[in-house]
Structure 1
Amino acid sequence: MKKLKYYLMLLAGAVLLACGPGNKQTNEEVSLSLAPSALVFEDQDASHKFVTVTTSADWTASVPDSWVVLSKTSGQGNGSFSVSVKDNDTGNGRSSVITVKAGSKSETVTVAQGEELAQLVPAPAAFDGTKRSNTAYQLLVYSFADSDGDGWGDIKGVTQHLDYLDKLGVTALWLSPIHPSDSYHGYDVTDYFGIHPKLGTMDDFKELLAKAHEKGIEIYLDYVLNHSGKGHAWFKDAIADASSPYRDYYFISANPASDYKNFPMLTGTSYSAGEWKTVTSGSPHIKVTKTTENVTNGTATWNLWTWQDGGEGKFVQFVDKGDGTYYLVMDISGKWGMLVRKYNNWNAGSKFGAKNGGNITEGQEVELVGDGADMWFTGNGRYKIELTNVSTQTLYYMGCFSDWMPDLNYGDVSKAQDNACFKDMAASADQWIRMGVDGLRLDAVKHICGGLNSYNHASNRTLLTKWYEHCNATYQEAGHNGNIFMVAEAWEGHSVEKTYYQALTSCFEFDYGYKVRDMLNGGNASGFVSAVSSYVSDHTAQRPDAITSFFLSNHDQNRFASEVNKNVAREKQAAAILLSGPGKPFLYQGEELGYWGKKDGGDEYVRTPIRWTRGGALASAALGGKVDSSMLTDDMSVAAEDAAEGSMLNVYKTWSRLRNTYPALALGKMSQASVSGSSIAAWYMTEGDQKLLVIHNVANARKVVQVSDSMAKPLAVLGTASSSGTSLTLG
């Protein structure tokens, strides 16, 4: 039989002991506290020592061992009792625990005779340099680090700070979307094959890949399969021309209420009018030429909106020629912006601009599209502007999240691999995988086959299975061993989320973060270990190669620090819990520095830039001023926290180093440990012949627990921990 090596991590069995978070007491009718928490007697000791009871209720005291004598075993309200011991002739030290109960509350006092309470001093093994933590870091490229001083975070900024991430112990980076888009956050992609110019170049990205891989850090891209951006060339062409090959890449209809059921991908879901947005189909043409004709004063509803930088815009109405074409004559001096409107307003379906924007030249016929880009014309004199091909149609497209995020249509999901949109999306993923990308995070997967409120999980799983199989084949063809890492955002409760493992190897377990938050805020660990263990076992029941992805919070949620009321001790303990348990931990940018933030004023407030140095500049331009400067003080900078022993950053580094050092933490299986107490979360992490005991005290007070395992090899302590015999006191 294999012999297991035990360790205690106070917080755990190498002993990893992570001790009390110093929570504020919750509102309860009964309060109870004891002083002191430990009594020490000599072998022959006739003295009496006193325990003070502070409570608002009746109380009882008991002790399991007859060599400990209590002067009283009950009382009403505040009081005290004396403790004495019988002579110890055993030749060995001994200990016991007095338990005092008041209502539903209980507290303990350790009694030791012939031995001292020993402070546990961690002595972890030295890190051997092999990173095995399987820990990922969610990074917002636009607000992480600015390399060129323009205020935008960029890819080079990430590369320049790889040493920081390496010392943090992470083995992978999940990058926010890097593709071109019309928003700062990048989830409205306009080119899946490209890189947003604000973030850098393809060469910058290739450099990041190479240098990250040198440090044993993988790169995961955020991939948006549910929708593209409204500015994508596919969508513009699809709206402009009914015969466009891209028309079927989207859900487009003149009457979606009746046509909805004709889209195979929406089978099993229900129609929601609010998820269908209005757009005008058609492609008017405009041409500007020099003329000597008189300036016109048209009356048609079609009009030209024109403006100069810094000046107010004006509209000039076209003249209706009566043959379906229009024109106007006006004087132009300098550079003017231009848009065409069907009506004298900006209502949906009125605005037309160029497909790709930019300058237009005299005599050039420009094809316009609904909601197209600004055009610029520079002239000096009188010009005739002709408008032709003005036939348009009001259409609707599905955009469940926003009118600037049209949903993508993969057709019959059972044959998605043959669908043109799927093939183009897969080709874009192939490009990045062959370049060296190690994994993908898939956005909003439950909404792909359906909308915000009605979706078909079974169809989603069918589509995602085909997506994973395609990408994994490409990954292996590129020469990789093993499978590509792919994690999905299936933002659902565990009972639904776990079913997505039928399609993918990993999903984010949202219930985990809620569970940690509630445990720390409530000071009650009951059921935590069994819940977390069941998350993992439920996933592996779906597929043996499942990887459970745990996290505390992300870019779409209030930050975890805010969820625990900015209680620093709770934040630190949450970090230790995450890094001393099973699965694949994800850290969110700024979490390691104690950043807080709520979505109330906008998502930007939970997407805070990193302050690298005291007084240093921030990569905040993308956030439009929505930054909590009162939080980003010099003391919250990387430089300050790195130098401060016991800082949030150094807590993360410590526990990440332990996870990288001990295979039982990085790869181990979690199992319940027999350490009692409603405020105690205790578990073993076992891998091969290595077994660690993890104990967390989540109460707002010191706790004494009985531990049957050896406490001779403590690896880490968060807070204070002392032992006497089998008694362990966690402060």
Structure 2
Amino acid sequence: MALRKVRSAWIFLSATVMLLFSSCATKSNIEQVAMSDNYRIYYEIFVASFYDTDGDGMGDLQGIRQKLDYLNEAGSSKSLGVNGLWLMPIMSSPSYHKYDVTDYYSVDPDYGTLEDFKALAAACKERNIALIIDLPINHTSDRHPWFQAALSGDQDYENYYRFRDDFASDFHKDERSGRFFEGHFGSHMPDLNLANPQVRQELSDICKFWLDAGVNGFRLDAVSWFFSSNITANVEFLSWLYNELKTFDPDVYLVGEAWSDATTILALYESAIPSFFNFPFSQSTGTLISSIRAGKGASLASAVDRWYAQLPQGAIDAPFLTNHDHARSAGALMGDLILQKQAAAVYLLLPGNPFIYYGEEIGMRGGSGRDENKRTPMIWSLSDSEGITNPPEGSDDIRPLDEGVAEQLKNRNSLLRYYIDIIAIKNRYPALARGLFNIMQVDDQQLFAYTVTYEGTTYAVVHNIGSEASSVPLAGYSLIEAISTNNKKPQFKNSLLQMPRYSSAILVVSH
């Protein structure tokens, strides 16, 4: 079954009626159906910049646990409502970003202890929050004991890495031996030899350790570089890893980062890894933001339809706007509150597992120049500095906000309250995450419209992403969610759906 009709095994998201004030009105915003599968709304956290509990200016694991009520508190209308967390690397590392690991079995002291992590994992489990952590296994730190042993001439550990006698692209010279080692991301990050059975056993042991500690899965960093451009070898390794981890936890969830084109990502899905980030749709120049800015709903619908048609059975798409490697989406959307709201509705209500980058829900900006500018402190309040971290060393472009979390929670028209409402809709309708996708043919080019069918029920999701009002006939449907970005909500009368500019609606087939 092709995913143009988006399989009932793994896909995207959902909806429900909210009509208060200028945004969407919900009942209980964490009112949701607890599901046992791997569909979630994930929230990406750079721990160092999230919340500081000990006053050292560095975010920590205890800070995330302290903020779980903000992320997911049952029955609260002021909790974000996410049910999945992705922590960027937490293992011991000499760098601020921690993608170069020196000890895969420890928590970096900047963030706390292993006991802190286990306490966080237990707290997440109590709330039915899936917890995944970054797993940087393309390379280690050059300070890792394995690499130090390799440089000292230990043949076994030399085989943990990729050494050769002559220079090649991405290889760096070891001055002691005169040999060259591969390091795609630099000499301080030597690439592991993932074809080595001993390395694979090490990785198996590492993953089991963290699964035992409470994680539900892993975000796999830089998967397209595991064997450079050798797609066949990459697929073989990913398939091995996924099958290996399923022996420890049959429900383990993996999402791969292949920052590449659609052809490469689709080829990597042959590994049966559940998800890969949808890079073609992301970033300032990607399909989602470009379509929102241009108001071209029909072209967006065609692009989404083509993408789903190519996804294999069992795939869970992973849409996102931006992440820690990109300038934030608020800047790409020109800081326009209406456009940010509409972008949120479009990607959060798509089928699959959407990923929110921390601070995106309050419109944080930044990202010019250095990576550090993309990972600045979460703005909890403008009047209270409690828990607010120091910026990463080297950041030089910190953009102020008119309102932080505290202020936006009090403002019914804020971006944060809109995110809360949209996520609540998604959580109440698991069918829309898992149903079969079909594009709806509509005349107005501003409209992005599709249906999803699950367990015999069909829903229609309609977005007007343009600057003019529109309408579409929908006989046989009932309106269940009218979503407004600007006080004007969709109306449905006599089988005609009237859509104000920048609005969304969810309907269900009448029985």
Please state whether the residue corresponding to 1:235 is helix, strand or coil.
helix
Pick from 512, 515, 531 the counterpart of residue 287 of structure 2: 515
Give the structure with the higher percent strand: 1
Q: 2:380–2:388: 8 Å Cα contact kept in structure 1? A: no
Quote the residue 1:150 is aligned against.
56
Percent sequence identity is 31
Name 1:203's counterpart in structure 2: 115
Q: Unaligned regions of 5+ residues in structure 2, if any?
A: 1-12, 73-78, 502-511
Structural mapping, 1:173-572, within 5 Å:
173-240=85-152, 242-253=153-164, 255-257=165-167, 271-272=168-169, 275-281=170-176, 393-411=177-195, 416=196, 419-450=197-228, 455-476=229-250, 483-503=251-271, 504-513=273-282, 514-540=286-312, 544-572=313-341
Aligned length: 470
Confirm or deny: 8 A CA contact 2:14 2:430 kept in the other structure. no
**Normalising by structure 2, what TM-score?**
0.86
- Provide the C-alpha distance between the structure 2 equivalents of 1:208 and 1:123, rounded to a whole number of angstroms: 29
Check if 1:161 corresponds to 2:161.
no
Q: Deviations over 1:28-57 (max 9, x none)?
A: xxxxxxxxxxxxxxxxxxxxxxxxxxxxxx
Q: CA deviation at 1:131?
A: 4.3
Structure 1 residue matching 2:69: 3-state secondary structure: helix
Specify whether residues 705 and 615 from structure 1 end up closer, same or farther in structure 2 by C-alpha distance, changes over 3 A only: same
The Cα offsets for residues 678-708 of structure 1, whole Å up to 9 and x where unpaired, read as: 1111112332243322221122223344443
> Alignment partner for residue 580 of structure 1, among 338, 349, 358?
349
Alpha-carbon distance between aligned partners in 1 of 2:446 and 2:319, rounded to the nearest angstrom = 22
SS in 1 for 2:345: helix
3-state SS of 2:212 partner:
helix
Residue 335 of structure 1: aligned partner: none
Distance 1:473 1:447 in 2: 25
1:638 aligns to what? 405
Q: Distance in 2 between matches of 1:148 and 1:442?
A: 30
1:486 is paired with a residue of what secondary structure?
A: strand
| AA aligned opposite 1:442 | L
Residue identity opposite 1:564 in structure 2? L
- 1:599-629 deviation per Cα after TM superposition (whole angstroms, max 9, x unaligned): 42x1111112112123333654360152644
Stretches of structure 1 lacking an aligned partner (at least 5 in a row)? 1-10, 22-120, 258-270, 282-392, 477-482
Displacement of 1:644 after TM fit? 0.6
User: Using a 3 Å threshold, how does the CA distance of structure 1 residues 705 and 466 change in structure 2: closer, same or farther?
Assistant: same
Q: CA deviation at 1:523?
A: 1.5
Q: 1:599 to 1:278 in 2, by over 3 A?
A: farther
Q: Of Structure 1 and Structure 2, which has the larger fraction of its residues in helix? A: 2
The 1:621–1:128 alpha-carbon spacing in structure 2 relative to 1, beyond 3 Å, is closer
In 1, Cα distance between equivalents of 2:268 and 2:254: 12
* Partner SS, residue 156 of structure 1: helix
Instruction: Pick closer, same or farther for the CA change 1:206–1:692 going to 2, 3 Å.
Output: same
Instruction: Give the conservation status (yes or no) of the 8 Å contact 2:51–2:389.
Output: no
Go from structure 1 to structure 2 and tell me whether the alpha carbon gap of 1:673 and 1:235 turns closer, same or farther (over 3 Å shift): same
Change (3 A) 1:688 1:407: same
Q: Distance in 2 between matches of 1:714 and 1:204?
A: 41
> Aligned with 2:65: secondary structure?
helix
1:164 CA displacement: 0.7
Aligned counterpart, 1:603: 371
Note if contact 1:605-1:627 (Cα within 8 Å) is conserved in structure 2. Answer: yes
What TM-score results when the alignment is normalised by the length of structure 1?
A: 0.61
CA contact (8 A) 1:16 1:694 kept: no
Summarize deviations over 1:200-250 as a string: whole Å, max 9, x none. Answer: 00110000000111011111010012100111011111102x234211111
CA–CA separation in structure 2 for the residues paired with 1:693 and 1:14: 11
1: CA distance, partners of 2:212 / 2:25? 45
Aligned residues: CA RMSD: 2.5
Point out the more displaced range, 638-647 or 612-621. Answer: 612-621
TM-superposed CA distance for 1:511, in Å, is: 1.3
Structure 2 CA distance for aligned equivalents of residues 145 and 12 of structure 1: 30
What CA deviation, in whole Å up to 9, does each residue of 1:470-516 have, x standing for no partner?
Answer: 1111124xxxxxx2100100111222201111111211111122111
The 2-side partners of 1:12 and 1:129 are apart by 11
In structure 2, the residue matched to 1:659 is: 426
**Separation (CA, whole Å) in 1 of partners of 2:234 and 2:14:** 40
d(CA) in 2 for partners of 1:508, 1:203: 30
